[in-house]
Chains A and B, each alone.
Chain A
């Protein structure tokens, strides 16, 4: 029973999920396509629910398990069901075979791609459910079904359940309210296929194997991916041909498999019974010989870009020609007077190929000359093209004056060529060339060459390939075109070449001799000679081949040996590490909290990753934060020290932040004022007064702290009672003391507001997100935060803001003045509350006084002046200024400075104060109290950026609640404060985020981040030259490991600069993968540094490219395509596979380098 309930919940959950999915799709895309996959999954989920505990007999004679039967049953009693049923049967009438909605139809996708024209797939899954949804009837039907469940369902069925049933029915109301379309939107047509679709297509086209094992990259010369015979087969099967149309067109270009010798577009070809078509004619040289290809323009243009076109195009495939020159004997040329030319190729069988019409211009000639060049050395045109030129006829034309067509039969010996030249004078327009495949000795069978047995019995001994050289005079007047087997013969091209050369020589010699016996003797001689030369050539070829290989290896070694370590660490030695660092393994390695065997840890992590629960413990080791072999005590000590350090640093920048916030606020206020244009002249003096006052008091404050502690005894003591080690708090406290002792009008107002704030403050000790939410209260915020270093109360701030908001209208001042008031009040509010808090806690004192001491030291240089000011300040008894100052001693001076600028020259003390702040010897970083304007500016800028980025960092990931984002911000700010020279660069947040997710501890995450940045910081601009190194390495690696891909990248707009990998390297693939994968990739990178390569990122990048290499090649991706592709594929990669390939790549490079 319980399991039934579980099952019901499971089914319901599935439906909920799908409904949510489809509703989201509807919202984001404004429409849902009828063939959307989410719709299919929804239907599947609904179907599963409908089938749940369906009464077996309820469906009567209909097929068991078919909900279509259910519908038909329903249609008899329920009107909407009848409508749907009718619609379905209408649709199915053309293909009535597929009645069952639940039965799996043929793969939908395949149908789509093959003939996407069909508007309704002939056999869609869940047809009636679809129809019901499209016509918005499904919810009604289900509702009816739920109400009448007893008829059709068992008691425990989902539909029959009193709670779940109605829920189920109502869930479908949403999807039924949507509009579905089978129209592709206009946008749809025009956009390029998304990455998803490309990957999908690739899967369909290439079958599973290609995706599981991406094409193994090899050196170019050693790899034959597709040979001509393959293409021929494709030509026979239009369907497969059609599938690889794009590939076919690509093959027409220069590529590694075929050398393009000649290419000309708009060459007309007249297929039988058809009018001439324009197309692209190309001449290719493959390892088997020359190939002439002609492709109609219709296929060349935008091939496969639009699947709609494919059906129309398919007919053209019949016309595309692929002619193997091996099979051609004669070339008939007809030259028209207007320089157009026609070529007819005649095969061995005497069949004429469709005529090829060249356009005007010397295209015919250039084609022939390319052809002739291509034929060599294994063949030649007879008569040769170029000999005519050699005869130096005064024509100067390169095109030969050849035999007239008519003369072909009568005078066909090669010697007759001289006689034909005599006919040059008249304009010869028709020629016939014969292709002489001069010598391919290894292809000749002895019988073919020479019927005489004795000779052939002798010769094989001397010839390596058991063939006899041709004896020309015994054959036809010129060599007969031999019947060649269509498939390529396996042979060494080197040998073939050498042989043919020799044979040519030899045949000349042989030709010279008349006597048979003499010739025989000669023959032996020549064969000897031939063998000698051949041996030499073979040896030299072999040598050069070997040399080239060695050079290649040397290049690899010099350029890439630095990338990987040369010691190969086995995955399964001593034990299989593919499980990674499991809990058991860690327990074993960790004796009494001491982990010594770093090698084993690295090995396990490298090959299998870290078990998620262990990451928090293991990562500090991997990052080098913990030392292997350290005791738990040592680590605790380290932690404590780091924690204290972290808090100290944080207090420093928090202080600065406070100033900046105030400054910003004033700017904002000024802008607001400017915008609203409310300020009137009358109020301006007030503003000035304020600022000048604050200056005075600021000075007084400093001296107060350093030189006259006795006057502020009370305050400092309160400061010591605060739990905070933060200097600022103490200052704030002293402020309150000051403010209570001498209050201005505003203070009174503040005083009234104080109690509630303090109360709220006490109960909310957790830091709130308010800092981000309301920048206005920043000042108060920083104070409150200062109170207990990490903890900041949210409410007091908001309260104080609220208060100030309330107060604002009360103060009849101009806007800027208003705002400064507000700021000061906020400060006071929080300070006051701090006092209350402090009183209640009473304890920690230390660092407050110590920082105070530090301050007094820095301040002492200007002691005298300060004292003076102080007196003035005290004398004037203005509190507001005191507040500003006291907020944070030194920083206060900056406030002042700013106000200086804002409200120029005031009281003399004010001026001197600002001077002092500028001249102070205190270094900015020492937090001694005075910060330069530049420093503040740079911090302000950094803070602003950090805020902007932290706010948007991984908002989708559940971990990043406002509280945790605040942690992220703290870490980031602390790092930047410590590394102001680098500053914040976008992307750093992304690097902190995963660490924080794992550690959930600011100080530890910070320490580890610092470790991480040791490697990463050089990537970040502008200091980062590492990026260029990465790109350069990528270039070399791809060049060596996958030259075909490299070539492709080079030819398609040359994106071998690899900018598309920028984000990969900058963020260690953080943005490319989902969080869980980021974890495993990162730890592998860290472990790899100690295992195989400190550049493991390179190999991951390489692996990513490898995974999709076929897609990249098949789709002819250029730079924009590849950027789009990888941006769209972000977070959808299969990290396990990628890591595996990356490790394999390393291993391959290691063996390559190792290979002596």
Chain B
């Protein structure tokens, strides 16, 4: 009888190989960093249940192989995804350039209303940085998605990123389901406002920078 969660969100991590998808996932699901990961072949997923607005949300996060050769396989998983994390490596410009390709991929294969978010990983490696935060933010603005710089190693923003994405999905869901209920929609608006306000400040900071 006990339902262990109120929502089940399927998330997907995509991005070039070796940008740190698996590490981000490991950081989020086990709160640890493992430098000995090998390249992901095929597909794997991890689960973590979080609590948002007193709801238990089970996040089922799929980790994919980065190399574009595997895209035919990985795109099969796009469809069920409710949120997608696009990851690039700030010390690798190519991985940043490829974000556009990945976005195109999403547009092609994922459902239309999938929530997206962009992560610039390895932000602890400042001395090897090749992609400025600015450019990341610019690209995010261009595609109208949220953006964060993360570090799985230093545990920067990983938690926040997943919570943000989950919150967005939940907000979208609530809006869909409870559009009739006035109390609920108010609740949504509130959270929506939160989201947009944070978004706004985020835009602002982008333009300032």
Contacts and interface: CB of A to CB of B under 8 A. Distances in A.
A1132 B27 CA distance: 23
A953 interface: yes
B41 A1062 contact: yes
Nearest to B47: A191
A192 B47 contact: yes
A1021 B2 contact: no
A1022 interface: yes
B175 interface: no
Nearest to B38: A952
Contact of A28 (B30, B38, B45): B30
A1021 B72 contact: yes
A1059 B31 CA distance: 28
Point out which of B37, B39, B60 has the most chain A C-beta atoms below 10 A from its C-beta.
Answer: B39
A675 B73 contact: no
Given A986-B67, A986-B70, A1071 B41 contact: yes
A308 B5 CA distance: 16
A1022 B56 contact: no
A952 B36 contact: yes
Interface string B44-60: 11011100000010101
A189 B50 CA distance: 12
Interface in A9-36: 27-30
Interface string A935-968: 0000000001100110011111000000000000
Given A306-B2, A671-B93, A1062-B43, A190 B60 contact: no
A1066 B42 contact: yes
A313 B44 CA distance: 34
B42 A309 contact: no
Contacts of A191: 47-49
A1071 B94 CA distance: 28
Interface string A635-679: 000000000000000000000000000000001100110110000
Given A306-B4, A952-B18, A990-B41, A985 B130 contact: no
A1062 B43 CA distance: 9
B58 A302 contact: no
Contact of A945 (B2, B48, B67): B67
A675 B132 CA distance: 7
Interface residues of B, number: 41
A987 B65 CA distance: 10
Point out which of B18, B38, B60, B73 has the most chain A C-beta atoms below 10 A from its C-beta.
Answer: B38
**Secondary structure of the B contact surface, majority rule:** loop
**Secondary structure of the A contact surface, majority rule:** helix
B41 A302 contact: no
A956 to B, nearest CB: 5
Contacts of A955: 35-36, 38
A1063 B41 contact: yes
A672 B70 CA distance: 32
Contacts of A298: 1
A702 B132 CA distance: 40
Given A675-B132, A955-B36, A1067-B41, A1020 B69 contact: yes
A301 B1 contact: yes
A305 B44 CA distance: 22
Nearest to B35: A955
B35 to A, nearest CB: 8
B118 to A, nearest CB: 19
Contact of A1022 (B36, B60, B66, B72): B72
Interface in B1-37: 1-5, 17-18, 30-32, 35-37
A302 B5 CA distance: 12
Point out which of A190, A306, A667, A1067 has the most chain B C-beta atoms below 10 A from its C-beta.
Answer: A190
A672 B130 contact: yes
A302 B43 contact: no
A589 interface: no
Nearest to B1: A301
A954 B41 contact: no
Nearest to B4: A190
Contact of A948 (B2, B18, B45, B129): B18
A189 B51 CA distance: 13
B154 interface: no
B76 interface: yes
A1120 B62 CA distance: 10
A336 interface: no
Contact of B39 (A302, A944, A987): A987
Given A192-B47, A675-B130, A986-B66, A305 B32 contact: no
Contacts of A671: 93, 130-131
Contact of B17 (A28, A949, A1066, A1123): A949
Nearest to A27: B32
Interface string A819-847: 00000000000000000000000000000
B20 to A, nearest CB: 11
A216 interface: no
A763 interface: no
A986 B130 contact: no
A955 B37 CA distance: 8
A1064 to B, nearest CB: 9
Nearest to A1070: B41
B45 A1123 contact: yes
Nearest to B3: A302
Contact of B38 (A301, A306, A954, A1021): A954
A1124 interface: yes
B93 A953 contact: no
A969 B150 CA distance: 30
A309 B60 CA distance: 24
Contacts of B1: 297-298, 301-302, 309, 313
B42 A1063 contact: yes
Nearest to B49: A190
A187 interface: yes
Contacts of A373: none
A416 interface: no
Contacts of B39: 948-949, 952-953, 986-987, 989
A1127 interface: yes
Nearest to B76: A1059
B2 A190 contact: no
A671 to B, nearest CB: 5
B67 A675 contact: no
A952 B16 CA distance: 15
Contact of B2 (A309, A989, A1123): A309
Nearest to B32: A28
B4 to A, nearest CB: 5
Interface in A379-419: none
A6 B39 CA distance: 42
B129 A675 contact: yes
B69 A985 contact: yes
B160 to A, nearest CB: 18
Given A306-B4, A309-B1, A671-B130, A952 B76 contact: no
A1063 B38 CA distance: 13
A793 B130 CA distance: 29
Contacts of B18: 945, 948-949, 952
Contacts of B37: 952
Contacts of B65: 986
Contacts of A674: 132
26 contacts: A28-B30, A29-B32, A30-B31, A186-B49, A187-B48, A190-B49, A191-B49, A297-B1, A302-B4, A306-B2, A306-B4, A309-B1, A313-B1, A945-B17, A949-B18, A953-B39, A955-B35, A956-B36, A986-B65, A986-B70, A1022-B69, A1059-B73, A1060-B42, A1062-B43, A1063-B42, A1123-B45
Given A986-B65, A1062-B41, 10 more contacts: A190-B47, A190-B58, A668-B130, A671-B131, A953-B38, A954-B38, A955-B36, A985-B69, A1123-B43, A1127-B44
Interface of B: 1-5, 17-18, 30-32, 35-45, 47-49, 56, 58, 60, 65-67, 69-70, 72-73, 76, 93-94, 129-132
Ranked nearest first, the 8 interchain pairs of A and B with the lowest CB-CB distance are A190-B49, A948-B18, A1062-B42, A1063-B42, A1021-B69, A955-B36, A671-B130, A1063-B41
